[in-house]
Amino acid sequence: MDTLNTLRFRDDLADLLRDHYGPPRDRPLHLKVGSQLAQTLASTLQNGYFDELLTAAIEADRQWCAPVPPDSPTSFSFLVDSALRRSVQDPEEIPEIRIAWHTLLALHSTLGTDFALFASCMRSAARESSRVAATTS
């Protein structure tokens, strides 16, 4: 598990969001709230599982937005759970994931159609901050 440097994550995420959405003062409210939720998520999962949860969420969002057969389970939470179980055995047994789960659902609901790009920015910022943390350890 990588250690996430939450201060570096915040700064890297701010840079990526500025590149994609412009300066913070010009962003819609849902993106500002999304930034706060992203930082909460990062601080909850700072000692691991952040990348796994984000990867599962991005995959779930992709499936959730795609056309599906009528009888398929299509809730975002079901799809995240299915994707997460492929990378983390018994995620409900990990207290940090249980807590982060609710923050992730709030983030997805808040961002709506902006979730995929925003989550990709989060994942890039997390990977960069984890890489930097590993080189300074």
pLDDT of residue 2: 59
The verdict on residue 98 lying in a domain is yes
- 89 pLDDT above the threshold of 60: yes
The verdict on residue 76 lying in a domain is yes
The verdict on residue 56 lying in a domain is yes
pLDDT of residue 1: 44
Long-range contacts at 68-76 (CB < 8 A, ≥ 24 apart): 76/105, 76/108
The verdict on residue 21 lying in a domain is yes
pLDDT digits (tens, 9 = 90+) for 32-60: 999 999 999 999 986 678 888 999 999 98
Domains contained in the chain, number: 1
Domain span including residue 122: 6-136
The verdict on residue 115 lying in a domain is yes
The verdict on residue 1 lying in a domain is no
The verdict on residue 129 lying in a domain is yes
The verdict on residue 65 lying in a domain is yes
Mean local confidence (pLDDT), 53-72: 80
- Give the rounded percent of residues in the chain with a pLDDT score beyond 70: 87
Residues contacting 49, CB < 8 A, separation 6+ = 1, 88, 94, 96, 97, 100
CB-based contact 114:32 (threshold 8 Å): no
Cα atoms in the 13 Å half-sphere on the side-chain side of 100: 29
